[in-house]
Amino acid sequence: MSKNDRYVVKHPDGWAVKAGGAERASSIHTTQKEAEAAAKQVVGNLGGGEVRIQGQDSKWRDSDTVAPGNDPNPPKDKKH
């Protein structure tokens, strides 16, 4: 886990962007899509890393490497 990694997680007020190990959210958004975009912007500004997205059921449903991060599965990850 890189210090630049961010997580999009369910929050009582919508969706939150959190850093690994953080108790408080960096930002809170109405929709998951808005939170994902904010997380990718933060990670990009920090020099790249991973954005992991939690689904409604609290299971991790997706992750994306933001450049210049190191994508662990480049041939398989064709979603983004």
3-state secondary structure 7-67: EEEEECCEEEEEECCCCCCCEEECCHHHHHHHHHHHHHHCCCEEEEEECCCCCEEEEEEEC
Q: Is the pLDDT of residue 18 over 90?
A: yes
% of the chain residues with pLDDT over 90: 66
Q: What is the pLDDT of residue 77?
A: 54
Q: What is the pLDDT of residue 79?
A: 63
- Residue 17 falls inside a structural domain: yes
- Residue 16 falls inside a structural domain: yes
- Residue 45 falls inside a structural domain: yes
Q: Is the pLDDT of residue 75 over 60?
A: no
- Residue 10 falls inside a structural domain: yes
- Residue 76 falls inside a structural domain: no
Total number of domains constituting the chain: 1
> Residue 29 is part of which domain span?
6-66
- Residue 51 falls inside a structural domain: yes
* Mean pLDDT value across the chain: 88
For the question of whether the overall pTM of this predicted structure is more than 0.75, the answer is yes
Q: What is the mean pLDDT of residues 30-42?
A: 96
Q: pLDDT tens digits, residue range 47-67?
A: 899 999 999 999 999 999 888
- Residue 20 falls inside a structural domain: yes
